[in-house]
Structure 1
Amino acid sequence: MNETLTPLTPYTATEGTTRMKTMLTPLTARKGQRNQKSLLALAIGSLLASSATPVLSQTLTDALTGGAVSLEVRYRYEFVDQDNPLDQAHASTVRTRLGYRTGDFQGFEVFAEAEDVTAVGNENYNSTINDTTDHSVVADPTETEVNQIYVRYKGLPDTTLTYGRQRFALDNHRFIGTVGWRQNEQTFDAFIGANESLPDTTITAGYLYNANRIFSDASPNGNFPMQSPILNVQYQGLAAGTLTAYGYLFDFTTADVNSTQNFGLRFTGGTDVTEDAKVLYTLEYAIQKDYADNPQSFEAAYWLAEAGLAAYGVTVKVGMETLESDDGRSFQTPLATLHAMNGWADQFLVTPDDGLQDLYVSAGAAVKGVKLLAIFHDYSSDINSLSYGSELGLLAAYPVNKHYTVGAKFASYAEDGRGVDTDKAWLWGQVKF
């Protein structure tokens, strides 16, 4: 797919009123509560409870004071021009993240991270919460929030347990992702366990309580409270690639229509054909059905088939992604990193009622350290033989060194009976320590 994300790890995302995202509280009391202090107190308390002697107390002090500070600053300019009455959007924003990770204490560590998004100059764009509805949307609201705060335990063999607000994504972000392209990323209030005891196998299981969405707590759409068990089993023991089986039971508390059960298989890998060339391939199939209190009854499938060739520094891929429709109820993935799917112009953040078929071809290379990528999409419906138009995307990114990155990106969507012609452009620079 057209990923522009940084490499994924198992736990991998002002003006106005300062807010923070919903914490891990009982669902019946979630609305309006902002108890980050209590969660941090719980985290530190769990460490204190393990301290039985003055010697251990000193070790705890070392862990709390001898940790590591993280800092990330990203400036971005985003331009949007649509063939409709809305004014052009000009969004100039700075996203700052400041975090602290404690040292290890008897297998425990605590991490906390604040995130601030500030506009540079006037907000000449619709952030979804700034009442600038005469401009096109750039979903980067200016808010300050707690982005992550969690306790992690690594005291069990081949196992990592994480409780709290965390950056979390699986596979290619199609079902569960961080939406890392937006200035305010998506994080999850969750309990996540990952185990690697079996040879070549990673088992990730967890329970999601809330999705802290990109719109911020200042928006009525800023949170997705849920009761969602998940399981993802990845096996890397095959020479040809990695096989993944997964099951995600999404039970949304305030959005029943999005509650679904999802089960699927994914296989991705590559095979060397010469010293300088490798064949690439990805196959995925999933089935989605109504779940919990979803008022609709439906069953729709997801298909992905992608083939590619990487040779002499150039990678070319062609693929078809299908999100089926069951008589008007289409396959949806509301927790995905949707910007990375089906075009950077963001015309298919919600799958159309008639489903979606995305036929795409991409070519990428690195020239003197500059990452270059071009991708073309042709869109159509799954049922009723509708054309949705096409899109061209272009990307150039340059990592100056391990701390500094600059980049530019462009997307142009041409409608064909759905939506409006849309052009988007971005310039950005990032500093990360």
Structure 2
Amino acid sequence: MNQATLPLAALIVAALVPSVAQAETDANPDITPYADIRYRLELVDQDGLPEDATASTLRVKAGVKLGEWNGFSALVEGEAIARLGPEDYNDTVNGRTQFPVVADPADVLLNQAYLRWRPDPAIETTVGRQAVNLDNQRWIGSVGWRQNDQTLDAARLTVKPVKGLTADYFYAWRVNRIFGPDSPQGIWRDNDIHGLRVGYDIANIGTLSAYGYWLDIPSAPAASSKTVGVRMAGAHSVGEGGKLLYTAEYARQSDHAANPADFELDYLLLEPGFSASGFTVKAGLERLEGDGTTALQTPLATLHAFNGWADKFLATPANGLRDLYADAAYKFGEGSALKGLTLRVAYHDFDSTRGDISYGSEWNALVAYPLTKQISLLAKFASYDAKELATDTRKAWFQVEAKF
């Protein structure tokens, strides 16, 4: 375990032990252990590097949930990531730069540890190390795809004053990033991060939300920003079993705190779609503006979920990014011998928002199958065809995951 996490872990355990003992005597609350074991083989062939990457890694995440007692509950979760086989990849801390990056360094750490208080069904507060996922995770997410989660040391308050209305505020002082504590950029400390989201569920239409994120990150001043936006996402039934899907979002980002740049940049997302009989089809336009020097960035997002699985746009280019995409999926349903099997394919065309630069295009494909209620299989592929940005890159993942 990383040494910096030991005092926090010890403090939480010391605080919880007498509470649990008392709770068992008074109310017999639920004490639920759990585990999530995930093995993954990741292969990367990237033009411009002398070697191909082969990363064979095992992630074991395990913890205990303490059920509610007098409004209080808690969770403590550890995470261990191990390399199985040769170190034929750049994990971002091993110095093997002749290989492509697979950002899954080996480590043992405290992943989550928080105390939650719910004095009323409409009020919930959470304090400690926690995964925070808001909306589609475009701005705030836990990066669940990588073997190490991104978590926040934060205090969070959620209130639901009336039916359908949710207000969510959090303050974070530390960001535990996917690169792990051995990386110079693995932990962002001494932050002043505020987030506020208000959402309202509109019957038969969807969820309308407004948000603001103020990021003051001394460890990465260029990532400091103020973002204010609005989002609408929903579905509307049409015909027999069909649904019209729609998402629209707009945000404005500007410099904040120690950011040395001076900018005001726009974000736009339009994503119509349709689903019926197991099929889901979507088309989308996502636009992250750039002015040639600075671009709109989303440093706390689950970035792998956006702009292609080859991860060529984890940082928005200075001339911005326009992602025009199509996404189609089919899930086998009841009555099929392949119930639960999901097939998915997507295509992205990438351009700049300034200067008419054609970056490239990408194909993605996925096959996922729930072998049992606890065990799932996944195969995933990405192929990026470069034009005026980066180099041709091909990736493949083969994964098995068990949850207990």
TM-score tier after normalising by the smaller chain length = over 0.9
Q: How does 1:409-428 map to 2 (within 5 A)?
A: 409-428=380-399
RMSD over equivalenced CA pairs, Å: 1.8
Cα distance between partner residues in 2 of 1:322 and 1:223: 29
Please tell me whether the aligned partners of residues 292 and 320 of structure 2 are also in contact (alpha carbons under 8 angstroms): no
Alignment match of 1:76 (pick from 30, 34, 40): 40
Q: Partner amino acid for 1:355? A: G
Residue ranges of structure 1 left out of the alignment (5+ in a row): 1-17, 24-32
Cα distance between partner residues in 1 of 2:23 and 2:241: 55
Alignment match of 2:213 (pick from 248, 270, 283): 248
Please tell me whether the aligned partners of residues 299 and 326 of structure 1 are also in contact (alpha carbons under 8 angstroms): no
Q: Partner amino acid for 1:83? A: D
1:36 matched to 2:1: no
Please tell me whether the aligned partners of residues 59 and 105 of structure 1 are also in contact (alpha carbons under 8 angstroms): no
* Aligned-pair CA distance for 1:121: 1.2
Cα distance between partner residues in 2 of 1:361 and 1:222: 34
1:378 matched to 2:343: no
Runs of 4+ in 1 over 4 A off after TM superposition: 42-45
* Aligned-pair CA distance for 1:254: 1.6
Cα distance between partner residues in 2 of 1:56 and 1:254: 41
* Aligned-pair CA distance for 1:305: 0.4
Please tell me whether the aligned partners of residues 210 and 223 of structure 1 are also in contact (alpha carbons under 8 angstroms): yes
Cα distance between partner residues in 2 of 1:228 and 1:116: 28
Closer, same or farther: CA 239–411 of 1 in aligned 2, 3 Å: same
1:292 matched to 2:257: yes
Higher relative contact order by CA 8 Å / sep ≥ 6: 1 or 2? Answer: 1
Residue ranges of structure 2 left out of the alignment (5+ in a row): 333-337
1:165 matched to 2:132: no
Q: Deviations over 1:211-260 (max 9, x none)?
A: 11000111111112211111111100242111010011111122122111
* Aligned-pair CA distance for 1:402: 2.0
Q: TM-score, normalised by structure 1?
A: 0.88
Please tell me whether the aligned partners of residues 201 and 237 of structure 1 are also in contact (alpha carbons under 8 angstroms): no
More displaced stretch, 155-164 vs 298-307 = 155-164
Aligned pairs, number: 397
More displaced stretch, 361-370 vs 175-184 = 361-370
1:189 matched to 2:153: yes
* Aligned-pair CA distance for 1:43: 5.2
Cα distance between partner residues in 1 of 2:359 and 2:292: 18
Q: Partner amino acid for 1:90? A: T
Q: Partner amino acid for 1:41? A: A
1:146 matched to 2:110: yes
Q: Secondary structure in 2 aligned to 1:329? A: coil
* Aligned-pair CA distance for 1:41: 3.3
Q: Partner amino acid for 1:385? A: D
Cα distance between partner residues in 1 of 2:366 and 2:44: 16
Q: Partner amino acid for 1:267? A: M
Please tell me whether the aligned partners of residues 116 and 126 of structure 2 are also in contact (alpha carbons under 8 angstroms): yes
Cα distance between partner residues in 1 of 2:292 and 2:56: 42
Cα distance between partner residues in 2 of 1:366 and 1:205: 36
1:230 matched to 2:195: yes
Q: TM-score, normalised by structure 2?
A: 0.94
Please tell me whether the aligned partners of residues 49 and 100 of structure 2 are also in contact (alpha carbons under 8 angstroms): no
* Aligned-pair CA distance for 1:165: 0.4
Cα distance between partner residues in 2 of 1:419 and 1:239: 43
